[in-house]
Amino acid sequence: MSEVNAPVIEDESLRSRTQSLFIAQQEQAHRNTDKLFAGLMIFQWLAAIITAVWVSPRAWEGTVSTVHIHVWAALIIGGAITVFPVALALLKPGKAITRYVISISQMLMSALLIHLSGGRIETHFHIFGSLALLAFYRDWKVLLTASAVVAIDHAVRGLFWPQSVYGVLTVEPWRWLEHAGWVVFEDFFLIISIKQSLKSTWDISSRQAKLERMNEIIEAKVVERTAELQVEINERKEAEKALARSNIQLTETYVELEQSRDQAIRASRFKSEFLANMSHEIRTPLNAIVGLSDLLVRTTQLTDEQKEFGTIINDSADVLLNLVNDILDYSKIEAGKLELEVTEFDLVELIEGIAELVAQKARSKQLSLVTFIDPTIPRILRGDPGRIRQVLLNLLSNSIKFTDRGEILMRVELISTADDHRVELRFSVSDTGIGLNDSTKEMLFQPFMQVDASATRKYGGTGLGLVISKRLVELMGGNIECESVYGKGSVFGFSAKLEIGPAEQTPVIGPLPDDLRDSRILVIDGPIGTQQILNTYISSWGMRCGHATDIEKASLMIKYESAANDPFDLVFFVLDPSNEEPAEILAALDKDLSPIKPRLVIIGSCADRSFGKQVMERGFAAYLPIPIKQSRLFDCLIGLLGKHIFASDTGENVVPDDQITLPVSQARNLILVVEDNVVNQKVALLQLRELGFPAHAVSNGREALEAVARTEYALILMDCQMPEMDGLQATKAIRKMETKTGKHSLIIAMTANAMSSDRLDCLAAGMDDYMSKPVNQKKLAEVLQRWLPASMQHGSTTSVADTAKVNSTTENAIEIETLFTTYGDKAGKELLESFQADAEHLLQNMASAVKQKDIFTLNDNIHQLKGSSASVYATELAKLSRAFEQAAAGDVYNWELFNEHLHAIEAAFHNTKSISQKALKAKESKIN
């Protein structure tokens, strides 16, 4: 831009842009100034008109006037001056012609105004003001144009009408130059100002161009970054979409998993219910088998063999029960709900009891079954004997199953004793069976796996036993392992950590009397395992044990040692179970060892149960069946070496089992049996009778409620699953009734539902304890002992038979036949006797209470009499007692009336007693 003295911009594009901006700014200034002048000129025009109208509105001739020429001049000439530039300003704003015309017209307008104002000097300032305004165009040419108009005007008017311009009559011809000079003088400053303004505009344009350049760069960056961000946003959106898809898939998967879980839970529940139902259905008949076989053995007159058979039935039922438990256990294990019990147990009893259970089976296969318990192990331990038994029975069962000849040895050895009063034991079962190869070992502990399909057909079994055993052992903190040589046999063993029980409760085998110490024992023949065990046991009791491999050597040893004054005190001959001719062996022994026959004990596992009798008949000292029990062996030693009479002919009864007996109870110990199964009901009543407890039986919960409302029971044995009203509902109803009376009946669940949840359900319903079926007498006795007060278990049996007189004529004071039908003859008789004693005592108390006007004692005794009368079907007495109780329950105590009630009750009691005596005598004579 030539008019602008601005620094040179080297950048062509920047310079070009600066110039564009500059021109644009100029154009904008021109447009704005055009608009300004358009308005100004219109204003000037109007001002000229107003001025003319104001100053010289009219021209006069005397009294006549016309419009003054100045008004017309202002209107027409002023309009001519104004219209054209204003039109250009509106039609061609910013154009050069517009501003030049404006500059000319503005100067003309000055001339007109000066003229109209009468040439006033003040009006001349319009010219200078207009020039200043024209400078707004920032175009010096505009100023020059305007100045030229001024100069021409002055020149022309100076020439023709100088006074109108200069105010004087005579002027020099170049006077206009003076006026023009003043205008130029102003133009000079205005042009300087224009130059500066243009420079500023140029600078602003330059800065704006640079700013635009910067903006372009920034915008380019922004666009670039935006594009990048867009890519990122697109990627993020894609990722979000992918995430959303994943979420949907996850949600679907979650829903499917929930459905699967729900199905699994339902399936598990169905399975558990099925197992529980199955367990219940199996346990119900098993209960009868266990209970009746137990009673059969214990309470009836049987031969030894019959007792043994009964015992085996009982034990087998237990085994069957264990099988049921296996299935339940597997289910519990799979569900992770199996819980171990911690209870005290006798290790020796446990192990030997296990051996007893499978002994018959071993004998039937002519296998030698031997147990060995390390004598250093404390006998009383704390743990879960049931689970140990379960594992060992499984292992033994397998060993017997897969062993055709030889020996099965069950050992318990001490691994370590910890400081925390715990021992780690190793249980093992070794056999001489078919053994396992390496490939089949791996399959052993897989569920439902057996060595091969033919094994299943040949040996049976479900394949669950070892799996359950493995899990049980792991729960007990141990590991199960298997060592086996194909064709030679296997050893299955596991370790378990158990707490040591109280030392004072530990039964002790031994010690031997001093005179028996150092006795010499000779063991002849037999499997190696049996020999070792005998040797270990005998040595542990302080005796000396020798060994001979056959009868011939034994004979020589006996003779030799006798000659050496150190004879064998006792000789054990271990009869090989596989020997098919045991009678010949006995004959050989009879012949070769005849001198020591009274001290020769035969140990064997002959399947023929009459073999023991044969042994004794041949004059041998004793017969000990395999498996050898520690206690039996010890007793045998004591008996023979100590010259005691060894009474048993089989040895199996050398140490008879403890009989669990309880004293005969009184009538107030009445127990209610709630059981829908008739057989089980009968079993429970018989068991209770044997334990000395009178009992009622009802068939469902509804009847139980009625019975409880009618009679006070010391304890209620409640089955759970019953028709009409089950045991849980009945218990809840009883507890609800008791909230009014404040009493609490003992309720013991007796159910075939063996799941742990069933136990919780029973306790939640308000029961006090829980027994799973089958319930044997021992278990029942334990529960009764636990819950019933000692006074009830050891009640008085004092007879009151001769204290009453029969003075009543009422024959139906007691339903004697119903009593005996309900309780049986024996229990009924005992109950009746107990009732008589009790009632008499209660009557005495009542008489004393009436005498002393002690309403509380009276009420208590009436209530007891009412209950006990009802329990023995002494209906009249019960009725009178109830009436008395109601009379005594009122707010007014009429002691005379009470006395009358008392006399009536005493009379009824004597009548009842008389009838009872007769009935009892009749029963006794019938029994005898």
Partner 1 sequence: MKTSTVVLTVLGSLWILAITVGMFILMRYAHTPSLAKTSGDQWPSHSQITLSKTAPTLIMFAHPHCACTRASIAELGKLVVHCKIKPKSYVLFLSPTSMPSDWEKTDLWHAANSVPGATVLSDINGVEAQKFNSYTSGQTIIYNTKGKLIFSGGITGARGQEGDNLGLNSAILSLQENSSKNQTASVFGCSLISSNSK
**Binding-site ranges for partner 1 (CB under 8 A):** 55-65, 68-70, 73, 76-77, 80-81, 84, 97, 101, 104, 108, 111-112, 115, 118-119, 157, 160-161, 163-164, 167-169
Q: Pairing relation of β-strands 58-61 and 64-67?
A: antiparallel
Q: With respect to partner 1, which residue has the nearer C-beta, 171 or 737? A: 171
Residue placing its CB nearer to partner 1 in the complex, 72 or 486: 72
CA distance 691 to 779: 11
DSSP state of 402: T
Strands 64-67 and 600-604: unpaired
Q: Of 17 and 115, which CB lies nearer to partner 1 in the complex structure? A: 115
CA 476 to the chain's CA centroid: 21
Cα–Cα distance, 847 to 853 (Å, whole number): 10
Q: Which two tokens stand for residue 378?
A: 């404390």
Smallest gap from Cβ 157 to partner 1, in A, equals: 7
What's the closest the beta carbon of residue 55 comes to partner 1, in angstroms?
6
Dist. CA 467–CA 473, nearest whole Å:
10
Min CB(109)–partner 1 separation in Å: 10
Please identify, using beta-carbon distances, which residue of 123 and 201 lies nearer to partner 1.
123
Those residues with Cβ within 8 angstroms of residue 888's Cβ, 6 or more apart along the chain or in another chain: 855, 858, 859, 862, 898, 901
* C-alpha span between 904 and 881 (Å, rounded): 9
The terminus-to-terminus CA distance of the chain in angstroms comes to 155
Q: Which is nearer to partner 1, 62 or 336 (CB)?
A: 62
* Pure H helices in 138-174: 140-160, 162-166
Q: Which residues contact 878 (CB under 8 A, 6 or more apart)?
A: 866, 869, 870
Neighbours of 815 (CB within 10 A): 16
CA distance 256 to 265: 14
3-state secondary structure of 852: helix
Closest CB to partner 1 among 179 and 773? Answer: 179
CB of 180 to partner 1, least distance (A): 18
Q: What tokens were used for 433? A: 């069976």
CB of 47 to partner 1, least distance (A): 17
The least CB distance from residue 107 to partner 1, in Å, is 11
Place of tokens 């002994």: 359
Q: How far is the CB of 12 from partner 1 (least distance, A)?
A: 31
Minimum Å gap between C-beta 171 and partner 1 is 10
C-beta closer to partner 1: residue 58 or 517: 58
Best CA proximity match to 731, nearest among 764, 760, 756, 757: 764
Q: Which is nearer to partner 1, 51 or 729 (CB)?
A: 51
Task: Say if residues 751 and 762 touch (Cβ distance below 8 Å).
Answer: yes
673 DSSP β-pair partners: 697, 717
Taking the CB of residue 155, how many other CB atoms lie within 10 A of it? 18
Query: With respect to partner 1, which residue has the nearer C-beta, 69 or 678?
Result: 69
DSSP strand pairing (480-485 vs 489-500): antiparallel
Beta carbon of residue 188, minimum distance to partner 1 (angstroms, whole number): 27
* DSSP 8-state symbol, 137: G
Smallest gap from residue 83 Cβ to partner 1 (A): 9
DSSP result, 336-364: T------EEEEHHHHHHHHHHHHHHHHHH
920 CB-near residues (< 8 Å, 6+ apart): 829, 832, 833
Of residues 115 and 632, the one with the C-beta less far from partner 1: 115
| Closer residue to partner 1, CB minimum distance, 65 or 193 | 65
- Three-state SS sequence of 623-666: EEECCCCHHHHHHHHHHHHCCCCCCCCCCCCCCCCCCCCCCCCC
Q: How far is the CB of 79 from partner 1 (least distance, A)?
A: 10
Nearest residue (CB) to partner 1, 73 versus 887: 73
Which of 117/861 has CB closer to partner 1?
A: 117
| Residue type at position 60 | W
CA distance 216 to 237: 29
Q: Which is nearer to partner 1, 156 or 587 (CB)?
A: 156
User: How many Å apart are CA 292 and CA 258, to the nearest integer?
Assistant: 49
Residue whose pair of structure tokens reads 């030392």 in the numeric block: 503
Neighbours of 244 (CB within 10 A): 10
Cβ of residue 115: shortest distance to partner 1, in angstroms?
Answer: 6
**Cβ of residue 65: shortest distance to partner 1, in angstroms?**
7
**What is the smallest separation between the CB atom of 28 and partner 1, expressed in angstroms?**
22
- Amino acid symbol at 599: R
- Shortest distance in whole angstroms from residue 176 CB to partner 1: 15
Angle (CA) 888 894 899, round 5°: 80
Of 111 and 718, nearer to partner 1 (C-beta) is 111
Whether 912 contacts 843, CB under 8 Å: no
CB 81 within 8 A of CB 104: no
Nearer to partner 1, 161 or 893 (CB): 161
Cβ atoms of 406 and 434 within 8 Å: the answer is no
What gap in Å lies between CA 360 and CA 605, rounded to an integer?
9
Using the minimum distance from each CB to partner 1, give the nearer residue, 62 or 742.
62
Question: Residue 76 Cβ, how far from partner 1 at the closest point, in Å?
Answer: 7
Shortest Cβ 38–partner 1 spacing (Å)? 16
Would you call 117 helix, strand, or coil by DSSP?
Answer: coil
Q: CB-wise, 71 or 409, nearer to partner 1?
A: 71
Q: Give the span between the Cα atoms of 600 and 622, in whole angstroms.
A: 7
Q: How far is the CB of 71 from partner 1 (least distance, A)?
A: 10
